[in-house]
Amino acid sequence: MNKPTWREKILLQEDLNFLLTNRVPRIALTRFMGWFSRIQSPRLTRLSIAVWRLFTPLDLSDARQQRFDSLHACFTRELKPGARAFDQRRDVICSPSDAIVGACGVVDGTDILQAKGFPYPVRELLQSEALAHTMQGGRYVTLRLTSAMYHRFHAPHDLVVDRVTYLSGDTWNVNPIALKRVQKLFCKNERAVIETRLSAFGGAPLVLVPVAAILVASIRLHCLDVLLHLRWPGPSVMTCSAPHAKGQEMGWFEHGSTIIVFVPSGFDLVTGLAPGARLRAGEALFERDTSPPCNPAREPIARSAHFLSTVRQARNGAAPPTCS
């Protein structure tokens, strides 16, 4: 067995890791990184990447370009054509990004897990009681992007983005050490709640929650063509009607972070997928349960879609439809 490197020894020291990545002026460092990463200097960028590689296994072999004028260009790099193939099966929802699988499960109550023994309220994460109720009976998965990973994220299925809610907040690290120590971490950090409808399943709801972290200077969403960051003046709620084909790029982080994915009832996590597993964007994440509906506790996708329609009409002041 290979002995751990000095870098791995440091990272395994939980107290030191937490101190170095959290007990620091997080927001000030995040704003500094936003400024520093945009400095146009190939020489400084090469030096910065060399230092970066001392602490993380950065692999740029599949990047479209190999030379970068700034760290920002490296963080938000595009990949070579075909580097991420999306599973085109209709009954499969794909991973929107490269990631490590974290906490996952059924949304069967008011709380879900950020780590073992650390629950947090869905309504606080989404900042919407109605939306939290909409996702009841569905499933969720936490996808963590490390700083070395590809930072762009894509549509996990054919969908339409209806609404984006930007929530400013803190910039705690989102690594497993912090998730075991900081309660309601995802509810405290800067994030965007992206409400979408699945085109292939009667408009059933799918929600993506990109969560920023320390040194993440911004979240870019192409459907809004704005840069969401700690100094974003608003508005906090933005409506749109933006269709995306499965695999189409939706946006990017400017460092590593997390995406929490909520899918409607009727989908299960792909067999064998568990916390700690590594995924690439486009690999199967959820698959539709096509078995006969013999379990009365399983709410069909159509019912989730109906409830979402009711919520939308209520927001617009229309009378909710009656169920027959």
**Residue 181 CB neighbour total at 10 angstroms:** 16
State residue 293's pLDDT score. 54
* pLDDT top residue among 228 and 204: 204
* pLDDT top residue among 156 and 51: 156
Q: Verify whether residue 61 is a known catalytic residue.
A: no
E strands, the chain, in order: 92-94, 99-106, 111-115, 118-121, 139-144, 152-154, 159-167, 191-198, 204-211, 219-221, 226-228, 237-244, 249-253, 258-263, 267-269, 278-279, 284-288
The reply to whether omega before 235 is within 30° of 0 (cis) is yes
Answer whether residue 322 shows pLDDT above 50. Answer: no
**In the chain, pLDDT over 90 holds for what percent of residues?**
53
Could you tell me how many residues make up the chain? Answer: 324
Average pLDDT (242-259) is 90
Answer whether residue 324 shows pLDDT above 50. Answer: no
State residue 319's pLDDT score. 43
Q: Extract the tokens encoding 44.
A: 């400084």
Per-residue pLDDT band for 182 (boundaries 50, 70, 90) equals confident
* End-to-end CA separation in angstroms for the chain: 64
**What is the pTM for the complete model shown?**
0.81
State residue 268's pLDDT score. 95
State residue 230's pLDDT score. 63
Answer whether residue 35 shows pLDDT above 50. Answer: yes
* pLDDT top residue among 88 and 16: 88
Per-residue pLDDT band for 290 (boundaries 50, 70, 90) equals confident
pLDDT tens digits along 98-151: 999 999 999 998 999 998 888 999 999 999 999 999 999 999 999 999 888 999
Which stretch of 191-200, 213-222, 248-257 has the lowest confidence by average pLDDT? 213-222
**Residue 71 CB neighbour total at 10 angstroms:** 21
Per-residue pLDDT band for 56 (boundaries 50, 70, 90) equals confident
Q: Verify whether residue 257 is a known catalytic residue.
A: yes
* pLDDT top residue among 302 and 177: 177
Average pLDDT (179-184) is 85
The top-scoring range by mean pLDDT among 29-33, 70-74, 120-124 is 120-124
Q: Extract the tokens encoding 26.
A: 């997080």
| Residue given tokens 């870098």 in the structure block | 7
Answer whether residue 295 shows pLDDT above 50. Answer: no
Catalytic residue among 37, 70, 95, 98: 98
Answer whether residue 156 shows pLDDT above 90. Answer: yes
Catalytic residue among 72, 151, 154, 244: 154
Q: Verify whether residue 324 is a known catalytic residue.
A: no
Asked whether 228 and 194 are in contact (CB, 8 A), the reply is no
Which stretch of 158-162, 199-203, 244-248 has the lowest confidence by average pLDDT? 199-203
State residue 296's pLDDT score. 45
Catalytic residue among 97, 128, 257, 304: 257
Answer whether residue 318 shows pLDDT above 90. Answer: no
Instruction: Compute the mean pLDDT over every residue in the chain, rounded to the nearest whole number.
Output: 83
Answer whether residue 52 shows pLDDT above 90. Answer: no
